[in-house]
Structure 1
Amino acid sequence: MPFFGSKSSKKQKDLSKISSKYDVKDQVLGTGAFSEVCLAVQKETGKKFAVKCIDKKSLKGKEDSLENEISVLRKADHPNIVKMIEMFEDKNYLYLVMDLVTGGELFDRIVERGSYSEKDASECVKQILIAVHYLHELGIVHRDLKPENLLYQDYLDENETEQSRLMISDFGLSKMEGTEAMATACGTPGYVAPEVLMGKHYGKEVDCWSIGVIAYILLCGYPPFYDENDATLFAQIMRGEYEFDSPYWDEISESAKEFVRFFMTVDPTKRYSCADGLKHEWIAGTDQSDVNIHGTVSEMMKKTLLKAKWKNAITATTAVNRMKNMGLIHKSIASEDSTGSPGSA
């Protein structure tokens, strides 16, 4: 899809409605399969926002998915969640005015830091827990929690502080709990819960598993589950097979390891909820080590970020289909086109 404002654009965007309130710039912040994100300035206040320009024609057959995402975004209003401010529409495009988030992805931010400790990791996880708990209270399941969808609101200074706000983005796969699609495989296998790969019906517990995976990586810099062979990777996840390897975990507290175990529990009925996590000593107490682990964690994160198989992993739909072909699972489940969410860019 061509850049916003490009002379080569085959479709004309009618900005008459949105331009009454916003000055939409030519600056493109990002592009995706269905959309491009442009910078916009609110005329009345001068405040900057991001506008997702979604190509209606590209959405053909996926309209329900977009409607679902917009429904979720309208319900969610929380400091740690990227918010949709309002929506405009013309013949060819939908325009979603969103919070402008400029602080970068979680892992990239950690790599750039000068120091980083278990206490910093705990603060990151705490913000994630608070936001996801809010979603779960609304009956919303994100279904695709991963570091790429965790963004900092902005850059402050060289010294990170508790004021660095972490925000959850990309609700293209989110659903209201209890809907039919909650038996659908989606997301990224490296972060997805065992029950999803097994083809079982699932609920908000899948987000809690993903939080456990994210917490694990934040503490050592590499994923708990990784293998070049898909069948081995899937089997590891379904059995919950991971280790706290030496020397990477030698400086990490037992409290942190316990927290990870409670969230990466294969049985969803025994898995910690966000509310449980917020009460855990590693989050609510003072059990976090203040040893600087930046050197080791950042080096491992750089390698993790370079592994295309991990960062741009196959969808869970593809994973489940492959496993069915391998005879690893037998239950017939619904599948959905997860090649990209309409609102993602």
Structure 2
Amino acid sequence: MPSSSSYSVLDGLYTLHETIGTGGFAKVKLGVHCLTGERVAVKIMDKKSLGHDLPRVKLEIAAMKELHHQHICRLYQVIETDEKIFMMLEYCPGGELFDYIVSKDRLKENEARFFLRQIISALAFIHDVGYAHRDLKPENLLLDEDQNLKLIDFGLCAKPQ
């Protein structure tokens, strides 16, 4: 784990555990909220490495603050320091839809229809609010504990005029 000072802003709020995902600009760790014991996904971004992509991250955060839907991963809290941005997100223990499909070889039609309805529901809502996700793929769809889909990664989203 990096020096305790880089994550010290989380002391007393969240405990961090293993890394559960990585992306181009972020590392995602399993976190536990100290007061409630609720598990969360903590997306950690280093501002220096973001560089000119920082406005894109700000748009991602703004979008997730607006997008409350049963099939969109929920943003609980954002903590920002001079060096880091921490996004506390809904934890989806079922992993990526991509890995789920690979493990089954293929989906039965009923199951594919079940997932497709959830994707369409989330996208219709996003579009109604005025956003476009622009990075829809099985790796950006997670499964919650009830096998429902949650759309993630709004890093490439846009809010066209």
1:79 maps to a residue whose letter is Q
Alignment correspondent of 2:122: 131
**Aligned partners of 1:12 and 1:92 also within 8 Å:** no
1:13 maps to a residue whose letter is S
Alignment correspondent of 2:52: 61
1:142 maps to a residue whose letter is H
Matched, 1:88 2:71: no
Tell me by how many angstroms 1:124 deviates.
1.0
Tell me by how many angstroms 1:116 deviates.
4.0
Tell me by how many angstroms 1:40 deviates.
1.0
Tell me, in whole angstroms, the C-alpha distance in 2 between the residues paired with 1:167 and 1:176.
20
Tell me by how many angstroms 1:19 deviates.
2.2
Instruction: Compute the RMSD of aligned alpha carbons.
Output: 2.0
Tell me, in whole angstroms, the C-alpha distance in 2 between the residues paired with 1:120 and 1:171.
25
TM-score scaled by structure 2?
0.90
Tell me by how many angstroms 1:63 deviates.
1.6
Tell me, in whole angstroms, the C-alpha distance in 2 between the residues paired with 1:36 and 1:107.
19
Matched, 1:167 2:160: no
Tell me, in whole angstroms, the C-alpha distance in 1 between the residues paired with 2:97 and 2:16.
28
45 and 119 in structure 1: CA distance in 2 versus 1, 3 angstrom threshold: same
Match of 2:160 among 177, 197, 202: 177
Matched, 1:39 2:30: yes
Tell me by how many angstroms 1:81 deviates.
0.6
**Aligned partners of 1:14 and 1:90 also within 8 Å:** no
- SS of aligned partner of 1:36: strand
1:15 maps to a residue whose letter is S
Tell me by how many angstroms 1:53 deviates.
1.2
- SS of aligned partner of 2:11: helix
1:96 maps to a residue whose letter is M
Match of 1:117 among 108, 111, 114: 108
Matched, 1:143 2:134: yes
2:95 maps to a residue whose letter is G
Matched, 1:97 2:80: no
Matched, 1:23 2:15: yes
Matches within 5 A, 1:279-318: none
Tell me, in whole angstroms, the C-alpha distance in 1 between the residues paired with 2:107 and 2:60.
35
Higher relative strand content? 2
65 and 38 in structure 1: CA distance in 2 versus 1, 3 angstrom threshold: same
- SS of aligned partner of 1:141: coil
15 and 134 in structure 1: CA distance in 2 versus 1, 3 angstrom threshold: same
**TM-superposition CA deviations, 1:232-260 (whole Å, max 9, x none):** xxxxxxxxxxxxxxxxxxxxxxxxxxxxx
Tell me, in whole angstroms, the C-alpha distance in 2 between the residues paired with 1:151 and 1:31.
14
Matches within 5 A, 1:207-226: none
Q: Which consecutive residues of structure 2, in runs of 5 or more, have no partner in the other structure? A: none
114 and 70 in structure 1: CA distance in 2 versus 1, 3 angstrom threshold: closer
TM-score scaled by structure 1?
0.44
Task: Tell me the number of residue pairs that the alignment of Structure 1 and Structure 2 aligns.
Answer: 161
Alignment correspondent of 1:73: 64
Larger of the two Rg values belongs to structure: 1
Alignment correspondent of 1:285: none
Tell me by how many angstroms 1:39 deviates.
1.5
- SS of aligned partner of 1:69: helix
